Amino acid sequence: MSTSRRDHLVETALHLFMRDGFHATGIDRVLKESGVAKKTLYNHFSSKDDLIVAALAKRDHDFAAKMRTAIARLTPQQTGDPRMAPVLAFFDGLDEWFRSDSFSGCIFINASAEYPRADCPIHRACEAHKLQVLATIEGLLAGLELPDPAPLARQLALLADGAIAGAHTGGDRAAARHAKDAARRLLASWL
Amino acid sequence: MSTSRRDHLVETALHLFMRDGFHATGIDRVLKESGVAKKTLYNHFSSKDDLIVAALAKRDHDFAAKMRTAIARLTPQQTGDPRMAPVLAFFDGLDEWFRSDSFSGCIFINASAEYPRADCPIHRACEAHKLQVLATIEGLLAGLELPDPAPLARQLALLADGAIAGAHTGGDRAAARHAKDAARRLLASWL
DNA sequence: TTCCGGGTAGACAAATCTGTCTACTTCAAC
DNA sequence: GTTGAAGTAGACAGATTTGTCTACCCGGAA
């Protein structure tokens, strides 16, 4: 099947990009790992950058799904004001992610680092992902009935990104829990 | 002079690494830009990684100095509770940085992205830098007379890193101002 | 003057990178 | 059974990478 070959390629590439980075992962490595021929790759993608964009799109999609399920699963376990529960569950989801063996930062932050030009397609895909996460966080604030949830959502997004940097660059495995406590305080401040 | 040659090399390398990334910046480019011979580079540094570590060390040093002067300059301009002034000045300093033309994220976050292995010297230098920043932030909290300033300092550090990601990856130029407002709320919550 | 440390200029090796191309295979549809 | 799309295997080009090495030069100290 054609789509299966393509999907397998994107999956393998995404895994290697997340683990080792973009420049450090050569095309040949992706091919060897996936068992796909070089011609097949260039039949589906015009260039390595094109493959990278596809991998980021898949990650964006997967991440959104993972976020939804984690929030649905963890929300009932939260204590305190039930209106805060979804947001707090989100940070618990981050905590699980940071503690997983495969964690090596946010691939979108990493991609922006390797492709700093703001106008290149890769960097643009990263920007789009961050907007998508922001929208998800805004959704978590629905129950709070704030006049304008946008600024609070931005602040919570800052905390989330900061936690990722703290966990990856700073090596602080407890970053998500500090962020969760800060989120609780921010929420209280806005209520 | 020997040290001048070495310093010039590190300065040039740092500039290029910040602008274009690490893998994307070849040794030859650093040499051409700096006008230094290849042999001289390998006389001072054992490898490209070694040069990277030296560049990060310089950036760590420069950043600490820039932080100190920015805080000294911007603290008197803050309004409200004067005990918060140094912290708020710190976020104004971030704001200036983000709006500068040369801004392309935090080089330590970027380096961690390109060198994900936590046990390599480059990644370790990034971790050390984040600890140094954390200590600086703790220093800003001295006037608050908190029983334990450490957790608040961590939360403010999360906000700062998140603002960097928001400004670079997310393309949000106002990230520092959102972070500043969040910092004000966090400070109020801890007082 | 002589010597030598430290610099320049750049050839070179060996590996690696992306991307193209040829030749062969496999498989499904007609 | 034939045809054609899509995949495999891998050689190849051309550029680029890090790092080494030779040959030369300059300027200060003995």
Q: Least CB-CB distance to B186: which of A164, A170, A182? A: A182
Instruction: Write the pLDDT tens digit of every residue in A12-53.
Output: 999 999 999 999 999 999 999 999 999 999 999 999 999 999
Beta strands in chain A (DSSP E): none
Nearest CA-CA partner of A57 in A69, A74, A45:
A45
Does A170 contact B at CB distance below 8 Å? yes
Over residues B116-152, the pLDDT tens digits come to 999 999 999 999 999 999 999 999 999 999 999 999 9
Q: How far is the CA of B40 from the C1' of C3 (A)?
A: 21
Query: b/e per residue, B107-138, with b = 16+ CB within 10 A?
Result: bbbbbbbbbbeeeeebbbbbbbbbeebbebbb
- Give the Cα-Cα-Cα angle B135, B141, B145 (nearest 5 degrees): 125
What is this structure's pTM? 0.95
Query: Which residues have CB under 8 Å from A7's CB, separation 6+?
Result: none
- Pick out the nucleotide with least CA–C1' distance to A42: C19
Q: Are A96 and A26 in contact (CB under 8 A)?
A: no
* Pairwise CB contact (< 8 Å): B161 & A182: no
- Name the residue among A110, A114, A103, A96 with its Cα closest to residue A171: A103
Sequence-distant (≥ 6) Cβ neighbours of residue B15 within 8 angstroms: B33
The nearest alpha carbon in chain B to A112 belongs to: B169
Question: Which residues are in reach of strand D, CB within 7 A?
Answer: A 2, 5-6, 35-40, 43-44; B 25-29, 38-39, 42, 47-49
Q: What is the pLDDT of residues B8-35, one digit of tens each?
A: 999 999 999 999 999 999 999 999 999 9
C1' nearest to CA of B25: which nucleotide? D17
